[in-house]
Amino acid sequence: MQSFDPRIYAVGECVNHRGVAYGLVAPLFEMAKVCANHLAHYGIGRYTGSVTSTKLKVTGIDLFSAGDFTGGEGTEEITLSDPVGGVYRKLVLRDDRLIGGVLYGDTVDGAYYYKLLREGRSVAEIRDRLMFGEANLGDAGHLGRNKAASMTDDMEVCGCNGVCKGTIVRAIKDHGLFTLDEVRKTTKASSSCGSCTGLVEQILMAAAGADYSPAPQRKAMCGCTDHTHAEVRRAVREHHLLSIADAMRFLEWRTPTGCASCRPALNYYLLSTWPHEAKDDPQSRFINERAHANIQRNGSFSVIPRMWGGATSAGELRRIADVVDKYRIPTVKVTGGQRLDLLGVKKEDLPGVWRDLGMPSGHAYAKALRTVKTCVGSEWCRFGVQDSTRMGQQLERALWRMYAPHKVKLAVSGCPRNCAESGIKDVGVIGVESGWEIYVAGNGGIKTEVAQFLVKLKTGAEVLEHAGAFLQLYREEGWYLERTVHFVRRVGLDYVKRRVVEDATGRCALHERLLFALDGEPDPWAERAAGADHAQFEPIIAAEPVAV
Amino acid sequence: MERWIRVCRPEDIPRQGARVVQISGGADVAVFRTASDRIFAITDRCPHKGGPLSQGIVFGERVACPLHNWSVELDSGCASAPDEGCVRTFPVKVEAGEVMVDLARAPGTVRDALR
């Protein structure tokens, strides 16, 4: 921001920065931040230019433009032109990525295109529908709403924190907010599950207009550091970092003990990169992974024992019934992953419950392999062509105790009717007459995502190796709290295929590393039922007051 | 009037962790130990929806509530902005290798009464 005369700094539309003069306020704010940094001799922050979008109102005509909308060499254009209806849209693509666009007449999808442009992700798969906007993408989640403008002030935007549109608009105006992060900090909207992020961005765009600053592409892990997840992962590997304290020192963390967001991530990166070497720090894990049970809204816990492939027996069911009676467990419920959930267990009862159940941990509380859901398959089903229950049990026995950046769910179906819902799982397996089809990166959560076809295989052994290799790739290269769908979207399915399908040696090595990591991993419930880690389950009973 | 109770030894509380103290006829108290071995005692109920703060992740001199990730300051018992609300805090001392908590003299009560 220093000009040719080093005594003079300049920001805003009077500046010609690398050949570009920005006439908008958002770049001015970005420049001002960098400039302030330099003036304070703080020495961090560089201005490398802004991606801008603008929405103009010309006497009742809506016009939106973003990025490079003129196109040129090496670009492709998609246009929609309806002169009589008064609508014109042009999208400019390069290498399957949206690089710019103009909307005239109907600009409701502006925020959506702008988001795609900023994310720089491939639009190859949605190219045929891209022109018709987000609402036409068959989105089952509530991200698809682009009605920010038509919402009334009392309508709820963020369902997690109960924040209405009016609250957000007021906060933007009163506090002069310009970024998504600022809106999150001030109103809490979009700060929990994140599914309303698109809507909040639309409101921000509408309320702040051209002042709106898009979220930066390069995202620091949290407020404790400027490093990204990718940089931290690389440092852990290249410098053989083995403890959270080492990692924080080496990466010059700003806070001495990190925060509730970065510590669990660091702990995972250390353990997944250096299995059997890095030391686990339970105090850097969320309570569920520390207590090996799911905390509930009243502070009690839920217990989900592992049932391989969803199959159980009279003996197990009797023990579960006895445990429910003995510990007065108020609710027993069948979960979506074909397991039984015992809800309302007191923390001090957990070790006893585990001992009496005599069943392994279901890891329903962990960023780890949850369940392998199966249909009954060829053993019983008149349509079944493969023994999906057995395949599912083999996968579950091979993968349980496997921690990952986020939870991992599998399913195996015994025929293409796909009763186990393999299409919305991290790894979905579907039996066909001649073998098994593997699908990856599906998701049934906040935003339903259909799994993508990875490979077709002949034998169960091949299924185990491919599924294991894919999950190890995710374990090694995924970012903490990134589900497989987001991981695969980030690195690309082609990359995954190259590593897991085409490169046989590499696949084998990935699978070997997974087996090595899981080797000797104990069942956390069996350990604690036998008395390990007992202090956390024992409350201290206050002694009588001491006379003073 | 002071009403000190003996709780446990400092080393019985994990660093960056907490223990729950059950008080007969009163709400549970969470006793925290930070990375730098400072000890704090506060009511084990988040001002938001009553989550057990003792189960949260401790960082610096704060704890993140396990239910909705509110951040509560251990010395004041108050939620960090933009959240609002406080829980009761209790004086703590370590005497003859034992953590002692004063259940009577609670600076938090005055503040709570003013809110």
Whole-angstrom Cα distance, residue B79 to residue A538?
A: 27
Boundary of a domain, candidates A106, A138, A170: A138
Better-scored residue on pLDDT, A36 or A388: A388
pLDDT grade, residue A144 (50/70/90)?
very low
- DSSP letters spanning A417-478: T-TT-GGGSSEEEEEETTEEEEEES-B-SSS-B--EEEEEESSHHHHHHHHHHHHHHHHHHP
Lowest-confidence region among A123-137, A348-362, A449-463, A464-478: A123-137
The pairing of strands B17-22 and A540-541 is: parallel
User: Are A168 and A83 in a shared domain?
Assistant: no
Instruction: Identify the pLDDT of residue A142.
Output: 40
Task: Using CB atoms, pick whichever of B2, B22, B71 lies closest to residue A539.
Answer: B22
Instruction: Identify the pLDDT of residue A508.
Output: 98
A481 contacts on B by Cβ (under 8 Å)? none
The yes-or-no verdict on residue A453 having pLDDT over 90 is yes
The answer to whether A258 faces chain B, any CB pair under 8 Å, is: yes
Task: Give the DSSP letter of residue B16.
Answer: T
Contacts 24+ apart (CB under 8 A), A279-286: A279/A242, A279/A243, A281/A243, A281/A244, A282/A533, A282/B14, A283/B14, A283/B15, A283/B16, A283/B17, A283/B57, A283/B58, A284/A244, A284/A258, A284/B16, A284/B57, A285/B57, A286/B57, A286/B66
Better-scored residue on pLDDT, A9 or A216: A9
Instruction: Identify the pLDDT of residue B111.
Output: 42
Tell me, what CATH number does B60's domain have? 2.102.10.10
Q: Which of B8, B15, B55, B80 would you mutate first to test chain A, the one with the most A CBs within 10 A?
A: B55
Determine the 3-state secondary structure of A493 from DSSP: helix
The yes-or-no verdict on residue A438 having pLDDT over 90 is yes
Better-scored residue on pLDDT, A400 or A211: A400
The mean pLDDT value for A75-100 works out to 89
Average pLDDT, chain A: 89
Determine the 3-state secondary structure of A481 from DSSP: coil
Number of domains in chain A: 6
User: Are A328 and A378 in a shared domain?
Assistant: no
User: Are A379 and A254 in a shared domain?
Assistant: no
Are the beta carbons of B66 and A548 separated by less than 8 Å?
no
Instruction: Identify the pLDDT of residue A492.
Output: 94
Are the beta carbons of A259 and B35 separated by less than 8 Å?
no
Q: Which domain holds residue B11?
A: 4-114
CA A455 to chain centre: 24
pLDDT grade, residue A106 (50/70/90)?
confident
A158 contacts on B by Cβ (under 8 Å)? none
- DSSP letters spanning A181-229: HHHHHHH-TTSSS-TTHHHHHHHHHHHHGGG--PPPSS--SSTT-S--H
Average pLDDT, chain B: 89
User: Are A189 and A76 in a shared domain?
Assistant: no
> What angle, rounded to 10 degrees, do the helices at A165-175 and A197-208 form?
50
Q: Which of A177, A243, A284, A287 would you mutate first to test chain B, the one with the most B CBs within 10 A?
A: A287
Residue A456 lies in a domain: yes
Q: What angle do CA A371, A374, A378 make, to 5 degrees?
A: 155
Whole-angstrom Cα distance, residue A145 to residue A147?
A: 6
Q: Which domain holds residue A88?
A: 53-138
Residue A336 lies in a domain: yes
Number of H-type helices and E-type strands within chain A? 18, 17
User: Are A420 and A485 in a shared domain?
Assistant: yes
B100 contacts on A by Cβ (under 8 Å)? 546
The yes-or-no verdict on residue A225 having pLDDT over 90 is yes
User: Are A519 and A435 in a shared domain?
Assistant: yes
Tokens of A287: 């309570």
Are the beta carbons of B14 and A544 separated by less than 8 Å?
no
Q: What angle do CA A395, A401, A405 make, to 5 degrees?
A: 95
User: Are A26 and A117 in a shared domain?
Assistant: no
Amino acid, res. A467: A
Rama region for A495: left / alpha / beta (φ>0; ψ in -120 to 50; rest): alpha
User: Are A248 and A258 in a shared domain?
Assistant: yes
How would you label A191-201 residue by residue, b for 16+ Cβ within 10 Å and e otherwise?
beeebbbbbbb
Q: Which of B57, B61, B84, B93 would you mutate first to test chain A, the one with the most A CBs within 10 A?
A: B57
**Alpha helices, DSSP H, located in chain B:** 107-114
Residue A298 lies in a domain: yes
User: Are A342 and A410 in a shared domain?
Assistant: no
Sheet holding B89-90, edge to edge: A540-541, B17-22, B29-33, B39-43, B89-90
The yes-or-no verdict on residue A270 having pLDDT over 60 is yes
Task: Using CB atoms, pick whichever of A282, A287, A535 lies closest to residue B55.
Answer: A287
Return the biggest CA–CA distance within chain B. 40
Lowest-confidence region among A120-124, A147-151, A533-537, B54-58: A147-151
User: Are A190 and A308 in a shared domain?
Assistant: no
Are the beta carbons of B57 and A263 separated by less than 8 Å?
yes
Whole-angstrom Cα distance, residue A301 to residue A365?
A: 10
**Alpha helices, DSSP H, located in A344-410:** 350-357, 388-399
Q: By percentage, how much of chain A surpasses pLDDT 70? A: 93
pLDDT grade, residue A141 (50/70/90)?
very low
User: Are A100 and A184 in a shared domain?
Assistant: no
A159 contacts on B by Cβ (under 8 Å)? none
Residues of B with CB under 8 A from a CB of A: 2-8, 12, 14-17, 19-24, 28-29, 31, 34-36, 49-52, 55-60, 64, 66-69, 71, 82-83, 100, 103
Number of domains in chain B: 1
Better-scored residue on pLDDT, A264 or A37: A264
Whole-angstrom Cα distance, residue A289 to residue A285?
A: 6
pLDDT grade, residue A60 (50/70/90)?
low
Answer yes or no: are the C-beta atoms of A36 and A65 closer than 8 Å. Answer: no
Are the beta carbons of A546 and B23 separated by less than 8 Å?
no
Q: What is the CA radius of gyration of chain B?
A: 13
Closest by alpha carbon to A117, among A22, A51, A200, A203? Answer: A51
Shortest distance, CA B19 to any CA of chain A (angstroms): 7
ipTM value: 0.89
The yes-or-no verdict on residue A230 having pLDDT over 60 is yes
- Around Cβ A173, how many Cβ atoms within 10 Å? 11
Are the beta carbons of B16 and A539 separated by less than 8 Å?
no
pLDDT grade, residue A35 (50/70/90)?
confident
Tell me, what CATH number does A409's domain have? 3.30.413.10
Lowest-confidence region among A145-149, A314-318, A505-509: A145-149
Instruction: Identify the pLDDT of residue A21.
Output: 82
The mean pLDDT value for A422-426 works out to 97
Closest by alpha carbon to A500, among A458, A474, A466, A546? Answer: A466
Q: The whole model's pTM is what? A: 0.76
Tell me, what CATH number does A128's domain have? 3.30.390.30
User: Are A408 and A467 in a shared domain?
Assistant: yes
Instruction: Identify the pLDDT of residue A193.
Output: 79
Better-scored residue on pLDDT, A463 or A168: A463
